[in-house]
């Protein structure tokens, strides 16, 4: 898709809407870096989708599907699982069935999906997610303080990857002292190798890609199967068995959580850190912890770590005045629906129709949201605590190029 002059100019003005406290045309440091992050990942597609979304809320794109860019319409689609499904032939759920099996939650709809969500709900209570995140966060705590105390730079991206790997380890039910336990970074790389198979223009995975995904799942599933068979209720696989799930169902669910949570977390946390530092809000948050939740939610809205969601149409309907037919593929542009609300400003409430849209809506609202938020809050509180003791600053950064989920490849912190 080529980037037109109209698309580029509309995208620019949409990212910097003047209703969020800055004079029209003024581009802040935080906004410049977010633009670089988005364009590093999708130099043509991002400005084109932003531009098209600004022109029309729903538009048919030959060869790709129907682009839906307005927040209310995106939410309407996500709420309607009768006409718009996730596990259709070109939806995101169908991509994963050959890799993780047919019952991994992310590729299910209807009664079976609702029943499985009901069973899993108790696994994501605040106490449960704390038991997963707190031990995993210890390595990041040590890495950050040890590195900064030594006077050298600390790469936050690498540190968050290690944190994500530690969370994966606990989802697999692997003790820290288990013989032959894979390092956290290697666990992260395995999870990332699965999620990186997805591309917007790719409705299905090739035979080679399916084999690659299955190979990674096989490595991850080894220790998870062992934990499942031990039936230890203190482990995630053991608790899945206690819920009455078969071993294969449990492996599918664990694999799904591993692959959908790794890239988005590692994308968002460094971008959150950069956004707060670049906008000069770190010092304020250090002394005003009650404002952290609203600031994090606004950062999620502005960065949109899940920039696109897919659905298949199974019954004729109309979206924004555009007729859609059974068999159509819907491209739900959460990135435009969220970013078109304006520039980053935690003091302005997010409208109800766009609230938490980056986690989805309706039957498929992200069940792992409490786990993701626990990881985000643990990292941010660690950074704020360190800043209160000894201020830090960003010394260097590099954006990731050609990736599905925009993010930083490196974000180095040093003592200020």
Overall pTM surpassing 0.85 (yes/no): yes
> Residue 200's pLDDT is what?
59
For residue 65, what are its two tokens? 């599907």
DSSP letter at 244 equals T
> Residue 368's pLDDT is what?
86
Sequence spans of domains, the chain: 5-415
Q: At which residue do the structure tokens 């005003």 appear? A: 288
Q: With beta carbons less than 8 A apart as the criterion, state whether 30 and 274 touch.
A: yes
- 163-to-142, 237, 280 alpha-carbon distances in Å: 11, 20, 26
DSSP letter at 68 equals E
Q: With beta carbons less than 8 A apart as the criterion, state whether 31 and 356 touch.
A: no
- 269-to-102, 160, 255, 367 alpha-carbon distances in Å: 31, 7, 22, 19
116 closest CA partner among 250, 207, 231, 208: 250
H-run or E-run covering 133: helix 126-149
DSSP letter at 317 equals E
Beta strands in 322-391 (DSSP E): 322-324, 329-332
Among the CATH numbers 1.20.1090.10, 3.90.550.10, 3.40.50.11540, 1.10.630.10, which is that of 5-415?
Answer: 1.10.630.10
DSSP letter at 290 equals G
The three-state secondary structure class of 27 is: coil
DSSP letter at 254 equals H
DSSP letter at 43 equals T
Beta strands in 121-279 (DSSP E): 154-155
d(CA 329, CA 9): 27
Mean pLDDT by 10-residue block, N- to C-terminus, for the chain (416 residues)?
32 43 70 96 93 95 93 96 86 74 80 86 85 88 95 95 91 82 87 74 75 86 91 91 89 82 86 97 94 96 92 94 94 95 93 93 89 92 96 97 92 97
């Amino acid at each position: 898709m080529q980037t037109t002059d109209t698309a580029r100019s509309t995208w620019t003005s949409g990212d910097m809407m003047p209703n969020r406290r800055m004079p029209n045309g003024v581009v802040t440091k935080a906004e410049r870096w977010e633009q670089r992050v988005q364009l590093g990942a999708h130099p043509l597609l991002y400005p084109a989708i932003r531009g098209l979304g600004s022109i029309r809320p729903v538009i048919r794109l030959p060869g790709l599907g129907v682009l839906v860019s307005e927040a209310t319409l995106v939410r309407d689609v996500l709420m309607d699982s009768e006409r718009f499904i996730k596990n259709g032939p070109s939806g995101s759920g169908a991509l994963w069935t050959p890799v993780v099996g047919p019952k991994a939650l992310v590729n299910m709809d209807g009664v079976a999906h609702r029943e499985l969500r009901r069973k899993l709900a108790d696994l994501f209570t605040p106490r449960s997610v704390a038991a997963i995140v707190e031990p995993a966060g210890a390595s990041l705590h040590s890495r950050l303080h040890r590195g900064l105390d030594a006077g050298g730079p600390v790469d936050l991206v690498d540190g968050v990857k290690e944190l994500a790997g530690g969370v994966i380890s606990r989802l697999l039910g692997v003790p820290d002292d288990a013989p032959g336990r894979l390092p956290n970074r290697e666990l992260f790389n395995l999870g990332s190798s699965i999620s990186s198979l997805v591309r917007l223009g790719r409705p299905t995975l090739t035979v080679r890609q399916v084999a690659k995904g299955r190979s990674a799942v096989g490595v991850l599933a080894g220790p998870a199967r062992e934990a499942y068979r031990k039936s230890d209720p203190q482990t995630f696989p053991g608790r899945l068995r206690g819920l009455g799930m078969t071993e294969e169902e449990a492996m599918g669910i664990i694999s799904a959580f591993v692959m959908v949570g790794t890239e988005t977390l590692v994308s968002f946390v460094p971008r959150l850190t950069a956004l707060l530092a670049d906008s000069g809000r770190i010092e304020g948050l250090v002394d005003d912890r009650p404002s952290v939740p609203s600031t994090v939610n606004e950062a999620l809205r502005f960065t949109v770590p899940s920039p696109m969601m897919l659905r298949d149409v199974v019954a004729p309907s109309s979206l924004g005045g555009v007729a859609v037919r059974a068999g159509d593929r819907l491209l739900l542009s959460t990135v435009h629906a969220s970013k078109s609300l304006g520039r980053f400003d935690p003091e302005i409430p997010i409208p109800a129709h766009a609230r938490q849209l980056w986690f989805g809506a309706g039957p498929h609202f992200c069940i792992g949201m409490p786990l993701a938020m626990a990881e985000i809050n643990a990292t941010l509180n660690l950074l704020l605590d360190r800043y209160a003791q000894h201020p830090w600053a960003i010394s260097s950064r590099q954006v990731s190029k050609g990736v599905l989920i925009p993010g930083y490849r490196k974000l180095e912190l040093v003592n200020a």
